[in-house]
Chains A and B, each alone.
Chain A
Amino acid sequence: MKRWILFVPLMVVAVITGLFAYALLNEVDPRVIPSALEGRTMPAFQLTAVEDRQQFLTEQDLLGEPYIINFWATWCPSCRWEHPYLNSLANDEGVRIIGVNYKDERDLAITWLQDYANPYALDIFDPNGDLGFEMGVTGAPETFFVDSKGVIQHRFQGPIDAALWNNRLKAVYDALD
C-alpha cells in the first residue's frame, strides 16, 4: 500500500476542521437566509382576493406606495402570534401591509380575519402557493419589504414583534421609497 494514502483521512479532517473553525469564529448564523430576489421587481401574478373570489389582483395593483408583503396562513401558529402586532402596525403606524394567504382555505381565512381583525390593505389568495414559490417562500410567516416601484428590498423570515420592528425592521421600512 502506498504510504501517502494513509494520510488522506487526516487531510480530510483538517479541511473539515478548518471549515468549522471558520464558521465558529465568524459566527455564521445559518438561520439568516438572504433572498436572491432582493433588488429585483415583484414577480408577475394574477390571483383572487381572499374576501372576493371575483376580484383579481396583479402585481400592478400594489404599485405606487411602499409596502410590506406578508405571507400568512390559518394553519400557522406563528402567524397567529404575529397577527396582533400586524394589526397595530397597520392601524397605529400606518404601515401598508399586503397579505398573501398562503396554501390555505378561503373559508378558514375569512373566518380568521373576522375573528382577529384584518390588518391587510389588500389580501391575496394563494391556495397553491404559486406566488410563494415565485418568491422563494419556505414557510409562513414570511415578510418582504417592497418599494413604491415594486422592487423587493428586504426579506424577513419568521414572526415580527415590537422589539424586532423597532430595532431592525422599522429602519428598513422607513428607507423604502
Chain B
Amino acid sequence: MLPEYGQFALILALLLAFACASLPLYGVLAGHKGFQQSAKPLTWGMFFFLLVGFAILVHAFMVDDFSVRLVASHSSTLLPWYYKFSATWGNHEGSMLLWILMLAGWAAAVSHYARSLSLDLKAAVLSVMAMIAVAFLLFLLMTSNPFDRILPIQPPDGADLNPLLQDIGLILHPPTLYMGYVGFSVAFAFAIGALITGRFDAAWARWARPWTNVAWAFLTIGIALGSWWAYYELGWGGWWFWDPVENASFMPWLIGTALIHSQAVTEKRNMFKSWTLLLAIMAFSFSLLGTFLVRSGVLTSVHAFAVDPERGVFILMILLATIGGSLLLYAMRASQIRVAGEYQLLSRESFLLFNNILLVVITFMVLLGTLFPLIFDAFGWRKISVGPPYYNLMFNFFMVFLLSLLAVGQLLRWKKHDGANLVSLLKVGIPVAVVAGLVLPLVFGDGFHWQVWLGLALVFWLVAGLIRSIYERVKNSSTPLKSLMRAGGGYWGMWLAHLGVAITTVGVVLVSNYDIERDFRMGPGDSVQMGRYEFQFLGVEPVDGPNYQSDFGYIQVFKNGTAIAMLNPEKRFYHVQRSGMTEAGIQSGFLRDLYASLAEPMEESRQVWAVRLQIKPFVRWIWLGAIFMSIGAVVAVLDKRYFKAARGGQ
C-alpha cells in the first residue's frame, strides 16, 4: 500500500501547489491581505507532502520493494544500503522528484527566513515558486510517475544500479547540483515578484542576494564534484570535457556569477536594475535548460541515460511557458524602471559591468557551441561536432580579460575612483606578475610554455590585487587587525572567492600544460620511468566486492629509489548489469596526483595489462579553488547587515 500513499501524497502536493500558485497571486493583484497570507501555510503544506512522497520512495528502495517498477529497474538486493539510498535519485523519476522537493524546500526556507519581507512581495515570490512546482509535478505525475507498479508478478530481484553511479561522487553530485539549479528559482521568483508588484527599488535585490549566493555556492560545489567524479571514475584522468551536459551546468553558473555581481550594484547603488532582473530570469532559465538538456536527450553525451522524446516535449513546454512568460512580463514591465545615478569609467560600477558583459559573452559562446550541432542539422548542413579546441580557445581568450580586470576591479570605489593610487600597483604588480610567471615554471617546470607564463602572470596579478586590497584596509588604521575584522562578511566573502579563482586557475593552467600521460603494456615485475617517477607493476589479484568481481592491481611508485606510493587501479565486473568499470588508482597530493588505470588484460591469465599512467601536477587545486569560491559565497551571506535587516525590518 505504501507506494500508493506516496503517489497520493504527490497528488496532494500538486493540489496545494496549485492553490499556492493562484490564491496568493490573486491576493496581490486584488490587494487582499488574507489571500496573501495563505502563501506561507500552503507552501509548507506542499513541502510536507513532497517530503512524505520522497520518504516513501526512499523506503521502497531501502526495503527492496521490487513491485515498484523504479526500484526493480534501478536497484538490487546485492547493492550496499548507501547505494540503495542514492539509487532513489540515480534515475529520471527519482531525480525529478528530488528536484521538486528541493524547490519546495527553498520556498519553505524563504517563507521562514524572510519574515520581515513585505507581505505582498513575499506572496508573489512564493506564488511564482509554486507555479514552477505545479508545472514539474504535472510533468512527474503524467509522464514519469516514480510509484508505477509491476503487478501482479513482481520480479525476484532488481536490475541493479548503473555501475557508473555506484560511487560516493554520484551520491553527492546530483543533489548538490540540483540545490544550485533550483536555488536560482528564488532569485528568479524575487525578480518576477518585483515585476508583478511593480516595486523596483533595491529591496528585492537585497532580499534575493543571500539566496543567490547560497544557490551559487551549491552549484559551484556540484560542478566541482562532477568534475572530480569524472576524473577518478571514468578512468581517463580528464577533469573537464566540454560535454553538452557539463556545459548545461556551467552556463547557469556563469550567469549566476554575473548575477551575484550585478545584484551588488543594484543593492548598493540602486542601478543596473533592469539588467539584474534580466540576469535573475536568465540564471534560472539556464538551470531549466540544463534540466531539459539532460532529461530530453536532445544532445547526446556521457550523461544521456534518460532519453525519451515525449518527456522532452513536455519539459520544452514548461521551459517555453516559464522562460517565455517571464521574459514577456519583463519586456512589458521593465520599461517602467527609472534609471538614476551615474558613474565614471574608473569606478567599481563600470568594472562590474565589464565582468557582467564578459561572463554573458562567455555564456553565449558556450551556448552556441552546445547548440551548433543542432543548428547545422536544422538547416540541413553537414553534421558537425564542436570539440574542446573551440571552447578552450574561446574561454581562455575571454578569461584573460576577465582576470586582468578582476585584479583591479576589486580595489575600486563606487561612482568614481582616483586613478593615482592605482599607479603604484600597476608599476609593481605587473612586472612582478610577468617575471614571477616566467621564472617559476622555468625553475620548477619541464620546459617553457607561453600559456603557463600567461596563466601564472594573471594569477600573480590577481594575487597582487588581493594583497593590495588588504593593504588598503589597514594602511590608515592604528589597529590593523581590528579593521580587518570589521571589514565584514561581504568583503571577506569576495576576497575568498577571488582567491578561489586564482587557485583554480593555477590548477587548470599547470595540469593542462604539464601533465604526462602514457600507455604501457605491463606484466608482473615490469617497471617504467615517467618524469621523476618509476612505476613498477607488481601484479593483479582477483578480489570480490559486494555486487562485483574485481581485478585489483598493485603498482609501486618510486622516486629516487624510495617507494613513495602504492596505486591500486581496479577493473570491476558488475554481475547483474553484466558490465565492466574502470576504477583509477590515484595517489593524490597537494602538488601532483599519480594516476593509474587498467585498460585491458592482454592475455588469458589476466596478468599482463594495458596500463595507463599519468602524472597530474596541481590537479587538486582546481577543486580546492571551487571550495574557496563556495566558502566565499557563504561568508558573504553571513554579513551582519542581512541579519540586521531581518530583525529590524527594512
Contact = CB atoms under 8 A, between A and B. Distances in A.
Interface of A: 1, 3, 6-7, 9-10, 13-14, 16-17, 19-25, 27-34, 36, 74-75, 77, 80, 105, 107-108, 111-112, 115
Of the candidates B281, B324, B377, the one having the most CB atoms from chain A within 10 angstroms of its own CB is B377
Given A1-B335, A13-B285, A24 B313 contact: yes
A13 B324 contact: yes
B319 A17 contact: yes
A22 B519 CA distance: 43
B371 interface: yes
18 contacts: A6-B274, A9-B281, A13-B324, A14-B324, A17-B324, A19-B378, A20-B312, A20-B319, A23-B298, A23-B377, A23-B378, A24-B316, A25-B313, A30-B299, A32-B383, A74-B602, A107-B521, A111-B521
B382 interface: yes
A9 B282 CA distance: 9
Contact of A108 (B371, B378, B521): B521
B374 A23 contact: yes
A50 to B, nearest CB: 16
A1 B272 CA distance: 12
A1 B521 contact: no
Given A19-B378, A115-B603, A74 B320 contact: no
A71 to B, nearest CB: 17
Contacts of A19: 371, 374-375, 378
Nearest to A13: B323
A108 B610 contact: yes
B600 interface: yes
Of the candidates A23, A29, A74, A111, the one having the most CB atoms from chain B within 10 angstroms of its own CB is A23
Of the candidates B334, B378, B580, the one having the most CB atoms from chain A within 10 angstroms of its own CB is B378
A80 B312 contact: no
Interface string B361-392: 00000000001011101100011010000000
A115 B299 contact: no
B interface, by DSSP: helix, strand, loop or mixed? Answer: helix
Contact of A77 (B282, B371, B521, B600): B600
Contacts of A75: 519, 599-600, 610
A6 B320 CA distance: 17
B330 A20 contact: no
Contacts of B377: 23, 28, 30
A24 B298 contact: yes
A43 B529 CA distance: 38
B339 interface: yes
A31 B300 contact: yes
A91 B61 CA distance: 48
B252 to A, nearest CB: 15
Interface in B292-333: 292, 296, 298-300, 309, 312-313, 316, 319-320, 323-324, 327-328, 330-331
B374 A28 contact: yes
Interface size range on B against A: 35 or more
Nearest first, the 6 A-B pairs at minimum CB distance are: A10-B327, A6-B331, A7-B331, A24-B312, A9-B327, A23-B298
Contacts of A29: 300
Nearest to A24: B312
Contacts of A1: 274, 335, 339
Given A13-B327, A36-B382, A75-B610, A20 B335 contact: no
Of the candidates A24, A111, A112, the one having the most CB atoms from chain B within 10 angstroms of its own CB is A24
B302 to A, nearest CB: 12
A91 B319 CA distance: 54
B161 to A, nearest CB: 21
A30 B386 CA distance: 12
B324 A20 contact: no
Nearest to B335: A3
A115 B602 contact: yes
B371 A6 contact: no
A130 B177 CA distance: 42
B316 A9 contact: no
A125 B11 CA distance: 63
A77 B282 CA distance: 42
Contacts of A13: 285, 320, 323-324, 327
Contact of B316 (A10, A20, A36, A74): A20
Contact of B385 (A20, A33, A108): A33
A29 B377 CA distance: 10
B68 interface: no
Given A32-B383, A75-B610, A20 B292 contact: yes
B604 interface: yes
B383 A34 contact: yes
Interface in B502-516: none
A23 B580 CA distance: 33
B223 interface: no
A80 B610 CA distance: 12
A133 B298 CA distance: 28
A3 B337 CA distance: 11
Contacts of B378: 19, 22-23
B339 to A, nearest CB: 7
Contacts of A105: 521
Given A23-B378, A80-B600, A30 B610 contact: no
A74 B609 CA distance: 11
A108 to B, nearest CB: 5
B278 interface: yes
B324 A6 contact: no
Interface in B268-282: 274, 278, 281-282
B186 to A, nearest CB: 20
Of the candidates A14, A29, A30, A115, the one having the most CB atoms from chain B within 10 angstroms of its own CB is A30
A24 B278 contact: no
Given A17-B316, A23-B378, A9 B600 contact: no
Contacts of B521: 74, 105, 107-108, 111
Given A6-B335, A23-B377, A28-B374, A111 B602 contact: yes
Nearest to A22: B378
